[in-house]
Chains A and B, each alone.
Chain A
Amino acid sequence: MNQPTPPAATTPILRLADVSKTFVGTNALQDISLEVHAGQVLCLLGDNGAGKSTLIKILSGFHAPTTGTMEVDGEPVVFKSPRDASDRGIATVHQFGGTFPLMSVGRSFWVGVEPSKGRGPLKWFDKKFAGEVAVREMRSLGITRVTDGNRLVGSLSGGERQTLAIARAVYFGAKVLILDEPTAALGVKEASHVLRIIMQARAKGIAVVFVTHNVLHAMMVGDHFAVLIHGRKADDFHKGERTREQITDLMAGGEAMAELEAELDKLQAGA
């Protein structure tokens, strides 16, 4: 492919160039090129099975791309494991799970980076501190009903769990925060809370990759949008460059939506 034009004012934190991913039998992704910038929200839109989760699994080190390259801060990188990605400041909240229902809030906040007390072989996991920090960080993101770090994660609501996962990523200094459909299972109030947290993270200079198929949610927080259809990038645009109808049509494959509207009109007329 041709060389990218001279870099814009800022180098993107994350750049994908011509990334493809093939699973046995399916081309989940084909020739995806994307840039993610600090302090911006990139919305990845697409219908079920479009390849959104596959794309962020590549960004977060879960899958290696079949072809194509990835750069972090302008440096080429190859992630061998999720740990490599998190070492580079890329934190991911996956679509399903991401937190541990039967663990306490404090424990689950610190999985993999447990704080310790004491020294040498007698170092121990500082549970009290772990719980206090988890509760405090959730409160700073507006969750005030969780006051006890010993509470099991499974007793939190969906929005509270998303907040816990995001609080964790922000606390550990993520530069890129990837959220896979964080609002999909949430009610209106909880979803708007998560959207607010996304804006908070953006204000801190964190680059956010927000995966969703809710166009409304995307338009509320997005600076930049990419639409995936059957594993290909169908469109790529900035805030204000498309209307909601245009995006919805694009995601649904254009005619399908117009047809549906016509049908609905007919039904309404008949009623």
Chain B
Amino acid sequence: MSAQLSEARPQAPSGAAPRPPSPLSIRGLVYRPEAGALIGTLGVFVFFAVFGGSKFLAAGGTASWLNVAAELGIIAIPVGLLMVAGELDLSVGSVLASSSMTLAIVSGHWGGPMILGIVLALAAGVVTGLLNGLLVTRTNVPSFVVTLATNFGMAGLTLGLSRVITGTTSVGIKPDPASKAVFGTLIGGQFEVAIFWWLAVAAVVAWVLQMTKYGNWVLAVGGDPVSARACGIPTERLKVVLYVASGFGAALVGVIQTCLYNGAQVANGQSFVFNSIIAVVVGGVLLTGGYGSVIGVILGTLTFAIVNQGIYYTGWNADWASFILGVLILAAVLMNNTFRRLALSARAGKKA
């Protein structure tokens, strides 16, 4: 890089400088986007541990929310990255549906090799992501509108093509043992293998966002696109890549669900559109971009999943789950705002 390290002057005497807070201290945590999300996750966990009892805490209960979190998380993490970069992706629902239908039709209906179906299914996600990215960066139409349009467009295309090709809207498939093991088994009879995919996606994206220059670019583009461009960041290419990643994530969950449930339906996946946004926002990502972390998105996803599943263990009417979720979203966002304000006013050297 062009940094002129040779010019670096000797370190100024540090005697007078107060030490910066460690990221592990309470005060250091305030600097972090996931500060509020952590409280939210712990809060709902304790809440349902108390009211859900031992069944919620047993392996079966844990599996039920971990499975929901895993599938949602694989989609929410790249969607969260896009939101940090200041863009939305509402097309994940139809990408999931089209990818699972692609796999079911190619490898089920037509009897093609499993690997071919999987590759084509993932390609469907990549192509949709590419289309989203190009449309958003070339037209300057807000991504909310562009991806809302692709979500509808893809849904119609998936439905239309499925009917033309198979005559139905749901197609069965018998995955070979290898594909089943990689994408669709239940470990110990209850934990989806998707949990490992989730962890892998989280590890890769967290590394990219926190530890590489590309992560810095994402934060900069979301914070101020004009300045980011002025600093020489290829903002358009970056956004296209992020949309491709988001499409890939949704398509991966499509493959996972198809292998897990031995089939696909055209209506699958639409719940992920809003659930992913909920997970991301509860996780402390700023809806307008420039602020957020992968750990936060993971915590937001866990919070969503725990509420979504925990209600069944309380013995209360499950109709109330959405109500709790609604209250929770508001509370989480207010809390995140407070923490962000704290981070913005945190003065080094001032006692907390």
Residues of A within 8 A of B (CB): 60, 62, 81-83, 86, 92, 94, 97-104, 107-108, 110-116, 123-125, 131-133, 136, 139-140, 144-152, 154-155, 171-173
Contact = CB atoms under 8 A, between A and B. Distances in A.
B8 A98 contact: no
Contacts of A99: 224, 227
Interface in B323-344: 340, 343-344
Contact of B212 (A104, A112, A123): A123
B1 interface: yes
B255 interface: no
Contact of A112 (B8, B16, B232): B232
B322 to A, nearest CB: 31
Of residues B2, B290, B348, which shows the largest number of chain A Cβ atoms within 10 Å of its Cβ?
A: B348
B286 interface: yes
8 contacts: A81-B232, A100-B220, A102-B290, A113-B231, A123-B212, A152-B346, A172-B4, A173-B7
A262 B212 CA distance: 63
Contact of B7 (A82, A149, A171): A171
Interface of B: 1-4, 7-9, 11-12, 16-18, 20-21, 23, 28, 31, 207, 211-213, 215-217, 219-220, 223-224, 226-233, 286, 290-291, 340, 343-349
Given A102-B286, A114-B216, A151 B348 contact: yes
B219 A82 contact: no
A112 B12 contact: no
Contacts of B220: 100, 103, 107-108, 111-112
Nearest to B231: A112
A102 B290 CA distance: 6
**Interface majority SS on B: helix, strand, loop or mixed?**
loop
A62 B223 contact: no
B16 to A, nearest CB: 8
B223 A136 contact: no
Given A99-B227, A114-B213, A149 B343 contact: no
Nearest to B292: A102
B234 to A, nearest CB: 8
A111 B231 contact: yes
B346 A113 contact: no
Contact of A107 (B4, B219, B227, B230): B219
Given A113-B2, A114-B1, A123-B212, A94 B20 contact: no
A171 B216 contact: no
Nearest to A124: B211
A231 B42 CA distance: 60
A101 B220 CA distance: 10
Contacts of A171: 3-4, 7
A115 B227 contact: no
A172 B2 contact: yes
Contact of A113 (B3, B17, B20, B345): B3
Contacts of A155: 343-347
A133 B5 CA distance: 10
Of residues B2, B21, B207, which shows the largest number of chain A Cβ atoms within 10 Å of its Cβ?
A: B2
A83 B4 contact: no
B349 A103 contact: no
A169 B171 CA distance: 60
B344 A146 contact: no
Nearest to B31: A150
Contacts of A116: 1, 212-213
A151 B213 contact: no
Contacts of B349: 145, 147-148
Given A124-B211, A147-B17, A172-B3, A111 B233 contact: yes
A148 B3 contact: no
A92 B230 contact: yes
Contacts of B286: 102
Given A100-B220, A100-B224, A103-B219, A150 B20 contact: yes
Given A112-B231, A148-B348, A149-B20, A100 B290 contact: yes
